[in-house]
Amino acid sequence: MAYRAPVRDFQFIFDHVVDFGQVVQTDRFAEATPDVTEAILTEAGKLCSDVLAPLQREGDMHPAVLENGVVRTSPGFGDGYRAIAEGGWIGISAPSEYGGMGLPMTVTTAVNEMMAGACLSLQLNPLMSQGQIEALEHHASDALKELYLPKLISGEWCGTMNLTEPQAGSDVGALSTKAADNGDGTYAITGQKIYISWGDNDFSENVCHLVLARLPDGAPGTKGISLFMVPKYLPNEGGSVGKANSLKVVSLEHKMGLHGSPTAVMQYDGATGWLVGEAHGGMRAMFTMMNNARLGVGGQGIGAAEGAFQHALTYAEERKQGASPIEGGTGTIIDHADVRRMLTTMKAELFAVRSIALSCAAAIDMATATGDVDWSARAAFLTPIAKAHGTDMGIEISQMGVQVHGGMGFIEETGAAQFSRDVRVTAIYEGTNGIQAMDLVARKLMDKGEAAFRLLEEVEQAAEREREMFPKKSEALWSAAESLRETTEWLLTRDDLNDRFAGAVPYLRAWARVLGAHFHLRAARAEGGDGPRTHLARFFIKRILPEHAALLIHARQGAEGLYALSPEDLAS
C-alpha cells in the first residue's frame, strides 16, 4: 500500500475550519499566503509519499542496532534524513536569522503529521531537533544560539532531550544527574538518562543533548534543576566538530515498536556542558520545548492513524469475502456494514482530531504574532487535548485498522500491526495522557475556567448560527456544549483536586467529542450542506458525539469510589 499525504484535507481545514486566514493577516506571518502554503504542503506531501513512506517497513524489519559503541541506523534512513534536512523541513518554523523559514506552527504541524504518517520512526528525529531549536531560541545565550541554531536548523547536527532516569520518570524532580562548575564557563555533567529518542545516529555530524541536571546548590525537586547543552563532539572555534565528549550510548531499548528509532540509555561521565538559561531554571526552559513537543506528539498519533486508515481502506477495497449485502456492491469487504462502520469511524475521527490539533497550532501562532493573553490561554488549554486525544486516536484507529484486516491484520507481513505497535508509546511520551488530563482539570482551570468558557461560548454561538441549515445537528452540538459547561462549573467547585483527577480523562475526551462535532459542522457549512463532508459530519454528530453524555457522568463522580477497593481487594 502506498501512503498518500492528505494535502487536500489540510488545505480544506486551513481555509474553512481553523481560520488560518487570521494567522496570515498578522504582520508576523503575512508571507504565509494561501499560494505559499499550498506549495509547501504539496512539496512536503511529495517528500512523504515518495521518499519517507518506503522507509516505514525498512525501519521495522531492520531495526537500529548498537555495534561496538556505534549506532547503526536502518537501511535508507540516512538518505531519508538528508532529504528532510536539505528540503529545509527541520527549520520550517525556526527563526529566519539562523536559517529557518519562520513559517507558522500550523504549517509545521501539518508537515510533521504527514512525515509521521509516512515513517514515524524517522520523523521522531527532526521533531526532537525542532524542540531543541525552540528551547535554545528562547533561553540560550547569544553565543550558544549562534553556534548551535544554524547547525540544528540545517540538519547538520541533531538534537535530543534528556529528562528521564530509572528512578525519575514523570517525577522529574527525583533526578540524580549532577552538574559541577568547571570554572571556565562549562560544567561537568555526570549521570545516566534513559528513553532518549534518537540518542545517537550515523548520519549527522553531531548529536546535541539537552540534559537536565542539578547543581550542588540546587534545591530538591524541580526548582533546583538546571538545563545544559552537552554535545556528542565538542565544537571547535569555527563550529566544526572536535574531540569526543565524555558520554556514550550504553544500550538501545528493545521496544514494542518504532524499531527504526534508536531509543538510548545515555551515560555522562563528567561530560562537558554549557548552561542553557538561568541556573536552577531548567524546567522553565525545558517546558518551552515540551509544550510544542506535546502538540507534535499528538500529530504523531494522528499521522500514524492516517497511515493505518489508508492501509485498511486499501485492503478493504481489494479483499473479497462473502456475498455483497448491498445492491451494486463491489464484491469486496468494504460492502459489509461493520467494515464500513469501522472505516467511516476512522475517517470521521481523523478529521475531528486533525482539526483540534491544527486549531491548537493556529492559537499558538496567534499568540506568537499578537502577544494576546487570550490566544495564549486558548493554546494552553487546547494543548493537552490535542496531545492526549491525538495519541488516543492513533492507538484506537490503528487497532481498528488491524480489525479491518481480520486475521491478516495479525500477520506481520501485511504491515497493519506495525502502525499499532509504533504509535502505542505516543500516549506515554511528553507526559502520559493521564497527566495531560490532570493538567487540563487543574492548571488549565486555574483561571476559574475563563479559557474553557470562552471556547464553549464560541462553540455554542456557532451552533446557533447553523440552526437554519442544520437544525438537528446544531441542537445536538449546542446541548453537548452546555452539558460540558455544567461539568466544568462542577469541577471548579471541587476543593479536593483528587475529585477532579478522578474524572479527568473522560472530561478531556468529552471536550474532544464536542470540539470534533464543532469542526465537523464547520466543514459541512463550508461544503454547502450536501456532500461527503456533510455526510461525515452527520455520522460523527449522530454516532460519536453522544458519547459525551456518558463521559461527563463519569467525570462528575469524584474520587471516593475509586478507593472503595483496597489493593488487597484488587489482587484477590
Secondary structure in 3-state letters for 298-348: HHHHHHHHHHHHHHHHHHHHHCCCCCCCCCCCCCCHHHCHHHHHHHHHHHH
pLDDT of residue 285 exceeding 90:
no
Does residue 214 register a pLDDT over 80? yes
> Does some domain include residue 364?
no
Does residue 14 lie in a domain region?
A: no
Choose one of 246, 280, 314: the last residue of a domain.
280
Q: Which of 430, 450, 457, 482 is catalytic?
A: 430
Residue 16: band (very low, low, confident or very high) from pLDDT cuts 50, 70, 90: very high
Mean pLDDT for 307-335 is 94
Confidence at 15, pLDDT banded by 50, 70, 90: very high
Contacts of 58-62 spanning 24+ positions with Cβ under 8 A: 58/260, 59/119, 59/121, 59/122, 59/258, 59/259, 59/260, 59/261, 60/121, 60/257, 60/259, 60/260, 60/415, 60/418, 60/422, 61/259, 62/260
Q: In Å, how far are 40, 47, 293, 358 from 519, measured between CA atoms?
A: 24, 28, 23, 11
Taking residue 571's Cβ as centre, other Cβ atoms within 10 Å add up to: 7
Q: What is residue 49's predicted lDDT score, i.e. its pLDDT?
A: 96
Query: Given pLDDT bands bounded at 50, 70 and 90, which one contains residue 413?
Result: very high
pLDDT at 172: 73
Is 514 part of any domain? Answer: yes
Higher-confidence residue: 222 or 493? 493
Q: Is the pLDDT of residue 304 over 80?
A: yes
Residue 166 pLDDT: 87
Q: Mean pLDDT over all residues of the chain?
A: 95
User: Using CA of residue 140, residue 143, residue 147, residue 149, what is the dihedral sign?
Assistant: positive
At residue 237 the predicted structure's pLDDT band, cuts being 50, 70 and 90, is confident
367 in a structural domain: no
Does position 406 have pLDDT exceeding 90, yes or no? yes
Cell of 572: 484477590
pLDDT at 169: 67
Helices (H), 319-449: 337-370, 373-405, 416-423, 433-441
Question: Average pLDDT for residues 498-503, to the nearest whole number?
Answer: 97
* pLDDT at position 175: 87
State the residue for C-alpha cell 445492491: 327
Where is the domain boundary, 242, 257, 280?
280
The residue with cell 531509543 is 263
**What cell numbers appear for 2 in the block?**
502506498
Last residue of a domain, one of 237, 256, 280: 280
Grid cell 515498536 is found at: 257
pLDDT band at 430, cuts 50/70/90?
A: confident
In-domain check, residue 570? no
Q: Cell digits for 369?
A: 504574532
Question: Per-residue confidence at 81, pLDDT binned at 50, 70, 90?
Answer: very high
Q: How far apart are CA 305 and CA 311, in angstroms?
A: 10
What is the Cβ-side half-sphere exposure of residue 364, based on CA atoms within 13 angstroms?
25
Higher pLDDT, 327 or 81: 81
**DSSP conformational letter for 241:** E
Q: Which residues contact 475 (CB under 8 A, 6 or more apart)?
A: 463, 467
pLDDT at 173 over 70: yes
The model's pLDDT over 135-153, given as tens digits with 9 standing for 90+, comes to 999 999 999 999 999 999 9
CATH number of residue 472's parent domain: 1.20.120
Cell of 159: 538534537
Exposure string for 301-332, b = 16+ CB within 10 A, e = fewer: bbbbbbbbbbbbbebbeeeeeeeeeeeeeeeb
pLDDT in tens, 90-149: 999 999 999 999 999 999 999 999 999 999 999 999 999 999 999 999 999 999 999 999
- 239 domain-assigned: yes
User: DSSP code of 28?
Assistant: T
The verdict on residue 276 lying in a domain is yes
Q: In terms of residue numbers, what domain contains 479?
A: 432-561
pTM: 0.96
Would you say residue 554 lies in a domain? yes
Per-residue pLDDT tens digits for 352-399: 999 999 999 999 999 999 999 999 999 999 999 999 999 999 999 999
**CA–CA distance, 97 with 555 (Å, rounded to integer):** 47
Cα–Cα dist 212/191, whole Å: 10
Into how many domains does the chain fold? 2
* 86 — pLDDT class (breaks 50, 70, 90): very high
Q: Is 430 a catalytic residue?
A: yes
What is the CATH number for 208?
A: 2.40.110.20
